[in-house]
Amino acid sequence: MAADTTSGGGITLAGLSKSYGAVRAVRSIDLTIAAGETVALLGPNGAGKSTTIDMMLGLTRPDSGRISLFGMPPAEAVAAGVVGGMLQTGSLIPHLSVRELITMVASLYPRPLPVDEVLQLTGTAEFAGRPTGKLSGGQAQRVRFAVALVANSDLLLLDEPTSALDVEGRREFWASMRAVAAQGKTVVFATHYLEEADSYADRIVLIAQGRIVADGSPARIKARVGGRTIRATLPGADLARLAALPGVASADRRGDTVIISSAAPEAALRALLDQYPAARDVEVRGSGLEEAFLALTTDDGDAALPVQEVR
């Protein structure tokens, strides 16, 4: 997946930083995205995903660094209509029907998609005549997607696009998103769901504490952050010895329960049961994304963190 770093063909973020007072929301992010890629910015809340997307949309000015969208700075790209976006928060203006609103927004772009096509694609056609002020949360979210989609822009930036949707809504959303990506559009979306990034992106960029901590294909990223936690009742176990078992990343204790983090749970489990036949109530669970991020980032704190190339 070689990305074009020089010409106007893709998207480049170079040394991008932004602080809000003492909070360093984004710390020197370097990222290159080739035209046509679908990239997930994956990270826990507060990782800096929204700030990064806002800067790419020209809504927030970076403290330092450079953004190039198809060879243009964000403001120029937005004015030319080559960028469309769906922001994390926001409601629709009232006193218009869904169709009227989409038509109104479409008229701002040089090459919009036909309104009827967008209504079909986003599943909003069935309530196209309803006033925007009388929609359910899920319906409004779909209309917001339609507002972004009708732009027919080369680059679509979506900030947690499925946050207000139920399971069915999510599935439909990603089905229409796939159709868009299939037209050769570049899509960048922020999410804190590993499954979502895994299922719908060609590439996952892991962001934590304002930095890129990993960048690679979904399979590789999943292998890295999709570790397991093993719990077992094991009174008086030696933590140092547990931590030294094959496949074990770290071991901790809560009362009589030991908690073992592992990227290779099968090996760890085999070793654990072999060496500690007394272990009871054994339980293996997928680690939460937050824990995985912590594992990737904790020891480094403010120090420069090398990007883990896992492609």
**Does residue 212 sit in helix, strand or coil?**
strand
Torsion angle in degrees (nearest 10) through CA of 215, 216, 218, 224: -70
Distance in Å, CB of 89 to another protein, minimum: 5
Residue 62 interacts with another protein (CB under 8 A)? no
Beta partners for residue 38, in sequence order: 187
In the list 72, 104, 305, 310, the residue contacting another protein (rule: CB under 8 A) is: 104
* Nearest distance in Å: CB 288, another protein: 29
Q: Minimum Å distance from CB 16 to another protein?
A: 17
Distance CA 100, CA 75 (A): 27
Number of Cβ within 10 Å of residue 234's Cβ equals 20
Using CB under 8 A, which residues numbered 135 to 174 contact another protein?
144, 147, 151
Of 73-81, 162-170, 245-253, 260-268, which segment contacts another protein by CB under 8 A?
73-81
Candidate segments 56-64, 205-213, 219-227, 247-255, binder of another protein by CB under 8 A: 56-64
Q: Is 80 in the site for another protein (CB under 8 A)?
A: yes
Number of residues assigned to the chain:
311
> What is the four-CA torsion angle of 127, 110, 50, 128, rounded to 10 degrees?
0
* Residue bearing tokens 């998609």: 113
| 264 makes contact with another protein (CB under 8 A) | no
Q: In what order do the strands lie in the sheet with 203-208?
A: 83-86, 155-159, 186-191, 38-42, 203-208, 211-216, 308-309
We find the least distance from the C-beta atom of residue 125 to another protein, in angstroms, to be 19
Q: Give whichever of 21 and 184 is closer to another protein, judged by the CB atom.
A: 21
User: Phi then psi for 22, rounded to 5 degrees?
Assistant: -85, -10
Q: How many residues bind another protein (CB under 8 A)?
A: 35
Helix (H/G/I), strand (E/B), else coil: 195: helix
Chain residues that interact with another protein, rule: CB under 8 A: 54, 57-61, 78-81, 83-85, 87, 89-96, 100-101, 103-110, 144, 147, 151
